[in-house]
Amino acid sequence: MAAVPAFAQLQAPPAWGTVDFISDLHLQALEPATFAAWRRYMRLTPADAVFILGDLFDIWVGDDAAAQPGFAADCAAVLKDAATRTTVFFMAGNRDFLVGDGFLKACRTTQLADPTVLGFGGRRWLLTHGDALCTDDVEYMHFREQVRTHQWQHEFLSKPLAQRQAIARDMRERSEARKRSGIAYPDVDGDAARAWLVAAEAQVLIHGHTHRPADHVLGTGQRIVLSDWDALAEPPRQQVLRLTAEGLRRIALT
């Protein structure tokens, strides 16, 4: 079972009436339809705050990729534009943990620690990407521990951009090959999720990562799993979890 971490705290300002949660868009240049759906959502959402809970990008090889014209720069422009209308938060996922402070500051996007307890509407909502709770995925947990170290990240980011992009392509191909093989990825550990909720004194855990959107009962609490996005799926997966004073509801964008 995953150790209980320290929880960052964020209290919603009184003026916030609507908060949106999204995750696992896995944006990439090869899937322009999903990018277009996200861009449209970020332009039109009525939310006072948008929380991106990891894996906004299919892979991120360093902030310098956004310093030149291309897909990363296009994503940066969407974030920066949205930040003129709403408060945007970004939590790193297992695919985009290398997104840095420089990129987020340039996009006027606030970095969100994983996990964070959000105070909203008189309740405490525990937010996480979710990968740290998939403790049965032993191979990934070892990989996660390695790549989250300062040494590994420094060594990787010191490589030329073209080399990092080649490594990323290889990692993506291996990931897709594993999916095609039919190997099932472990789900969140229920005992670990309950322990996090108790320690955080929160009633609801909201996370992504697993691509298994559902609502689970955890004792006296709940685990709400966000959907991934794929604009070309049948039917399209472009779902937002919206929180207001009335509670949570899932919204399928068209």
The whole-number pLDDT of residue 173 equals 85
Within-domain flag for 1: no
Within-domain flag for 208: yes
Cis peptide before 115 (omega within 30 of 0): yes
Query: Any idea what the CATH number is for the domain that residue 222 is in?
Result: 3.60.21.10
pTM of the model as a whole: 0.95
Q: Tokens 């009184």 identify what position?
A: 14
Spell out the per-residue pLDDT of the chain, length 254, in tens.
567 999 999 999 999 999 999 999 999 999 999 999 999 999 999 999 999 999 999 999 999 999 989 999 999 999 999 999 999 999 999 999 999 999 999 999 999 999 999 999 999 999 999 999 999 999 889 999 999 999 999 999 999 999 999 998 888 888 777 777 767 778 999 999 999 999 999 999 999 999 999 999 998 899 999 999 999 999 999 999 999 999 999 999 98
- Structural domain including 71 reads 8-252
Minimal CA–CA distance to 228: which of 97, 99, 37?
Answer: 37
Q: How far apart are CA 140 and CA 129, in angstroms?
A: 14
For residues 237 and 229, is the Cβ–Cβ distance under 8 A?
Answer: yes
Within-domain flag for 13: yes
Count: domains in the chain: 1
The whole-number pLDDT of residue 185 equals 79
The whole-number pLDDT of residue 2 equals 60
Minimal CA–CA distance to 94: which of 150, 132, 127?
Answer: 132
Where residue 108 falls (left for φ over 0; alpha for ψ -120 to 50; beta otherwise) is: left
Within-domain flag for 159: yes
Three-state secondary structure call for residue 84 = coil
Cα torsion angle, 127, 128, 129, 134, sign: negative
Within-domain flag for 3: no
Minimal CA–CA distance to 60: which of 110, 22, 25?
Answer: 25
The whole-number pLDDT of residue 183 equals 75
Q: How far apart are CA 131 and CA 144, in angstroms?
A: 9
Within-domain flag for 60: yes
H helix count then E strand count, the chain: 7, 12
